[in-house]
Amino acid sequence: MEELLLALPAGQSLPSGRRDLVPAHMAYRIGAGPRLLGVRLPPGLQGGLMMLDCRDFDGQGDPTPCCRQILGECRRRGFRGVVCDFEGLPIGCLPKLVALLDRGCSGQGWALYVPEAYAPHAPSARVLLPSCLTSGTLERRLRAALAHRPAQQLALAVEWVREDFLLPASGRGDPLTQAALDEQLRRLEPAVFFDRGLCAHYYTYLAPGGQAHFVLFDTPRSLREKLAVARRLDLAAVLLPGPEVAGCLEDILAPA
pLDDT in tens, the chain (256 residues): 679 999 999 888 888 778 889 999 999 999 999 999 998 788 888 999 999 999 999 999 999 999 999 999 999 999 999 999 999 899 999 999 999 999 999 999 999 999 999 999 999 999 999 999 888 899 999 999 999 999 999 999 999 999 999 888 778 889 999 999 999 999 999 999 999 999 999 999 998 888 999 999 999 999 999 999 999 999 999 999 998 998 899 899 987 5
Nearest C-alpha neighbor of 155 from the set 22, 25, 27, 26: 22
Rounded to the nearest 10 degrees, how much is the dihedral formed by the CA atoms of 145, 150, 151, 152?
-130
For residues 158 and 220, is the Cβ–Cβ distance under 8 A? no
Residue 7 CA to residue 24 CA, distance in Å, equals: 5
